Homo-oligomer: A and B are copies of this chain.
Amino acid sequence: MLYMIGLGLGDAKDITVKGLEVLRRCSRVYLEAYTSVLTVGKEVLEEFYGRKLILADREEVEQEANNILKDADISDVAFLVVGDPFGATTHSDLILRATKLGIPYRVIHNASIMNAVGCCGLQLYRFGETVSVVFWTDTWRPESFFDKVKKNRQNGVHTLCLLDIKVKEQSLENLIKGRKIYEPPRYMSVNQAAQQLLEIVQNQRIRGEEPVTEETLCVGLARVGAEDQKIAAGTLQQMCTVDLGGPLHSLIITGGSLHPLEMEMLSLFSIPENSSESQSIDGL
């Protein structure tokens, strides 16, 4: 059996009791290590789970999936995913491969950023399509995702922006020379995302469109589900400077009109006037 087990958000103890019981009896336990991260590293997880974890990077999962699935028809293999196993599309692929090999699978769900963002008070059923914001380079500055943000705004629904993660990336030089030297991991911050968005807003304005402006109400979230979680509600302009601390970050562009309950919840997290500091939540 292939077990796809969600680890939730936060730390080692955010796994479910069921997930923990299952992984402890599996013959091999893989940790998917490229679509998200917890606030603790592999060693802490290994100690709490009581099992050695095999790190599975994108290359391994996408190109060598058969290694992961080896003998899963006669023994139990666990594939651990930060958040929920269906947060990233790449995991559907693993399930399809298993099914083709006649290997049964089972999913043990957990929280993902897709539902945990509800903690800011914006109502989950009022979210439209989710977008991904990728790191721009000097030569690659995609804006196409912004069409979805515009459509969501027109429909009065919120947009969750998932921010880019670069893990185990090679520099162009190392890539060309075939050197397996990797750059340090990079996680896009709310500040970086907001700055890229502002540039798009300015380009849109030139074309006479203003679906989003510097004043559009946004919510920045950091380390959702962790002890030191931070949430800040303010304008897109404020999101460029608000200090939310370490990764992972997410950004929400609100849909315009808010329900009174949403408004009241967001006010708990509003950025104080004349400050670039976010207000942290007591007790979180």
Contacts and interface: CB of A to CB of B under 8 A. Distances in A.
Nearest to A151: B155
Nearest to A12: B17
B261 A93 contact: yes
Contacts of A170: none
B118 A115 contact: no
Chain A contact residues, majority secondary structure: mixed
A18 B39 CA distance: 14
Interface residues of A, number: 65
Contacts of A12: 17
Given A17-B13, A118-B87, A283 B105 contact: yes
Interface stretch (A29-37, A128-136, A233-241): A128-136
Contacts of A16: 8, 13-17, 110
Q: How many copies does the complex hold?
A: 2
B283 A104 contact: yes
Contacts of A86: 115-116, 118-119, 124
Contact of A268 (B99, B121, B157): B99
Contacts of A282: 104
Given A87-B115, A261-B92, A17 B20 contact: yes
A84 interface: yes
B107 A110 contact: no
A114 B87 CA distance: 11
B106 A284 contact: yes
Nearest to A157: B129
